[in-house]
Amino acid sequence: MNTKFKTVSSSNISISQLMLPSHTNFSGKIHGGFILSLLDQIAFACASKFSGNYCVTASVDTVNFLKPIEVGELVTMKAKVNYVGKSSMIVGIRVEAENIQTGEKNHCNSSYFTMVAKDENGNKALVPGLILSNVEEVRRFQNCLKQIALKKQSDAQKNSIDFGSIESIMSSNLYNVKLDLK
């Protein structure tokens, strides 16, 4: 366990970028893939700033696209470390789009990335402990613990098949699927 500790606020980072026509999808809105690329960049910067190491994306745990982003809006992403393990960190990211003519802001996306710190040889590196300084930081940390527990539970269940449950689901006609095991 690392004896060095850092505050959540020491990980805070934000980036802003004007959305251009070249960032759009076929419907004229900003492409989700472009936003995902920016999310990965800020998650890297946040985790690297906090850990003092090069970091890699281990998983994208949640990406909620809440509202579309328009061409000409200023997108601001704010990231902070919400949880730390031995070498991993969960980075929470909030995305807001601002109409620069009216000043109206919309919360467009919330995302959670698990990042892992690496040393100069590519091995996992210890990250500083996390100092929680207010109730909101404690809430975010607790939510990460819940997400980790749900992920472990889901991973454990993925390798088992309950044929009784599958047969009752199949016979319910709720799903457009046919079971044809050979």
Domain that holds residue 58: 5-131
Q: Which residues contact 122 (CB under 8 A, 6 or more apart)?
A: none
Tell me, yes or no, whether 81 lies in a domain: yes
CATH of residue 31 = 3.10.129.10
Tell me, yes or no, whether 11 lies in a domain: yes
Tell me, yes or no, whether 111 lies in a domain: yes
Is the pTM higher than 0.85?
Answer: yes
Place of tokens 């975010």: 140
Tell me, yes or no, whether 108 lies in a domain: yes
Tell me, yes or no, whether 63 lies in a domain: yes
Q: Note the pLDDT of residue 1.
A: 58
Tell me, yes or no, whether 104 lies in a domain: yes
- pLDDT tens digits, 46-90: 999 999 999 999 999 989 999 999 999 999 999 999 999 999 999
Q: How far apart are CA 148 and CA 160, in angstroms?
A: 20
Q: Note the pLDDT of residue 29.
A: 96
Per-residue tokens: 171: 């016979």
- Number of independent structural domains in the chain: 1
Per-residue tokens: 21: 């026509």
13-18 and 73-84 beta bridge pairing = antiparallel
- pLDDT tens digits, 4-13: 999 999 999 9
Q: How many CB atoms lie within 10 A of CB 107?
A: 12
Q: What is the percentage of the chain residues whose pLDDT exceeds 70?
A: 96
Reply yes or no on whether the pLDDT at 17 is more than 80: yes
Tell me, yes or no, whether 31 lies in a domain: yes
How many residues comprise the chain?
182
Per-residue tokens: 66: 């809440």
Tell me, yes or no, whether 138 lies in a domain: no
Please name every residue paired with 80 in a beta bridge, in sequence order, or none if there are none.
Answer: 92
